[in-house]
């Protein structure tokens, strides 16, 4: 439901309209053709006529990397309720509108440490052959330290590249892209969204695919519900195996987390609590530390192996410390996510 703008929301949007980096160019702009001159019958070109080759299509993850740079370096840290978070709303809305998606900004207010702050969710719709929906979500806010390149410009970037890639494609289901605000303050964006869903909307949702911290960790994972509700996780693992893509799920080394599942610490959790099946992409390393997915890399790096929520969560640090990982991981998740939303058929 479209919300009425209150005075506080107007202030939020006014702040958001401050300068933001221009979105990366997704499709080269066509050059306006000049009129072809009429040649006399006896005239002939003095030079061979050659055709300019069409520009190569960007490889998977290339556009996403540009988005990570625009968000993490162009805007920087994006704490809930900050000017930078509001600036990110304006930027991301512009991206969806340039892709010609029906887009809605849904502001909400939350209380953090006794203070009322403004945030917003951004919702864009890709209508499919069926009205049944796959929700693809990622939070765009960050903590104050670092620049939130991994957590979670990476998730937002993969979502945006897939949105660009499927904009003109037919999809079997309607895809609802949601960018959540205020995740780091307590999953407020996703909680607010789920609280506004009707029972019919919940039943109409095939899965919620959560994208969070996709680039820095040692291993690329996909999780889902235990048992039969983890169908998309299993489909994606088979898709990856057939193409020799390095995607896996966690193997249950920690008995608190059954094989193929994860904890309730990201934006999938409110959907899961509402009975909606979840799928979750992440890069970390479940074999390290307490084997709970919190230690992303060898403890010699960053803060005892944790990059998220630290000063090390920057594009420069990740690319210098793990050369090529950011590009490779973004490309992997773009490939698998695009396959899910264009090829998966629910039973």
DSSP states of 92-110: HHHHHHHTT--EEEEEEEE
Confidence at residue 42, expressed as pLDDT on a 0 to 100 scale = 34
Dihedral through CA 227, CA 208, CA 181, CA 157, nearest 10? 110
Token digits of residue 133 = 């929906």
Per-residue pLDDT tens digits for 205-243 = 999 999 999 999 999 999 999 988 899 999 999 999 999
pTM (two decimals): 0.86
Nearest to 269 by CA among 346, 180, 347, 342: 180
Instruction: Tell me if 171 is assigned to some domain.
Output: yes
Q: Is the pLDDT of residue 26 over 50?
A: no
Instruction: Tell me if 312 is assigned to some domain.
Output: yes
Whole-number average pLDDT of the chain? 88
Judged by DSSP in three states, 131 sits in strand
Rounded to whole angstroms, the Cα distance separating 286 from 319 reads 22
Instruction: Tell me if 40 is assigned to some domain.
Output: no
Rounded to whole angstroms, the Cα distance separating 15 from 253 reads 46
Instruction: Tell me if 20 is assigned to some domain.
Output: no
Per-residue pLDDT tens digits for 285-316 = 999 999 999 999 999 999 999 999 999 999 99
Instruction: Tell me if 83 is assigned to some domain.
Output: yes
Instruction: Tell me if 302 is assigned to some domain.
Output: yes
Q: Is the pLDDT of residue 69 over 50?
A: yes
Rounded to whole angstroms, the Cα distance separating 80 from 117 reads 8
**Tally of CB atoms within 10 A around 226:** 12
Token digits of residue 301 = 């790096």
Give the count of domains, the chain.
1
Rounded to whole angstroms, the Cα distance separating 238 from 235 reads 5
Q: What is the CATH number of the domain that holds 255?
A: 3.40.630.10
Confidence at residue 45, expressed as pLDDT on a 0 to 100 scale = 43
Q: Is the pLDDT of residue 161 over 50?
A: yes
Instruction: Tell me if 311 is assigned to some domain.
Output: yes
Domain that holds residue 102: 60-343
Instruction: Tell me if 29 is assigned to some domain.
Output: no
Region 150-159 average pLDDT: 98
Nearest to 121 by CA among 48, 45, 176, 167: 176
């Amino acid at each position: 439901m479209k919300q009425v703008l209150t005075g506080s929301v107007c202030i939020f949007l006014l702040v958001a309209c401050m300068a933001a980096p221009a979105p990366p160019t997704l499709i080269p702009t066509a050059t306006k053709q000049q009129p072809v001159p009429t040649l006399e019958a006896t005239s002939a070109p003095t030079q061979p006529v050659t055709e300019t080759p069409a520009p190569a299509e960007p490889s998977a993850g290339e556009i996403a990397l540009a988005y990570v740079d625009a968000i993490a370096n162009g805007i920087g840290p994006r704490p809930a309720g900050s000017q930078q978070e509001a600036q990110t709303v304006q930027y991301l809305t512009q991206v969806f509108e340039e892709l010609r998606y029906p887009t809605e900004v849904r502001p909400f207010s939350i209380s953090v440490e006794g203070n009322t702050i403004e945030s917003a969710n951004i919702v864009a719709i890709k209508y499919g052959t069926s009205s049944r929906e796959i929700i693809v979500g990622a939070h765009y806010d960050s903590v104050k330290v670092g620049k939130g390149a991994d957590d979670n410009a990476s998730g937002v970037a993969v979502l945006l590249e897939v949105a660009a890639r499927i904009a003109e494609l037919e999809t079997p289901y309607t895809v609802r892209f949601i960018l959540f605000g205020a995740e780091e303050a307590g999953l407020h964006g996703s909680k607010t969204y789920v609280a506004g869903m009707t029972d019919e909307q919940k039943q109409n949702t095939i899965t919620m695919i959560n994208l969070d911290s996709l680039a820095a960790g040692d291993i690329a994972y996909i999780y889902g519900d235990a048992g039969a509700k983890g169908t998309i996780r299993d489909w994606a693992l088979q898709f990856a195996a057939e193409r020799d893509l390095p995607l896996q799920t966690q193997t249950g080394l920690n008995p608190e987390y059954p094989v193929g599942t994860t904890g309730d610490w990201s934006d999938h959790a409110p959907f899961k609590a509402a009975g909606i099946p979840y799928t979750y992409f992440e890069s970390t390393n479940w074999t390290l530390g307490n084997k709970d997915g919190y230690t992303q890399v060898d403890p010699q790096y960053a803060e005892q192996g944790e990059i998220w929520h630290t000063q090390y969560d920057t594009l420069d640090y990740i690319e210098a410390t793990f050369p090529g990982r950011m590009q490779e991981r973004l490309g992997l998740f773009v490939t698998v996510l695009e396959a899910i939303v264009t090829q998966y058929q629910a039973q």
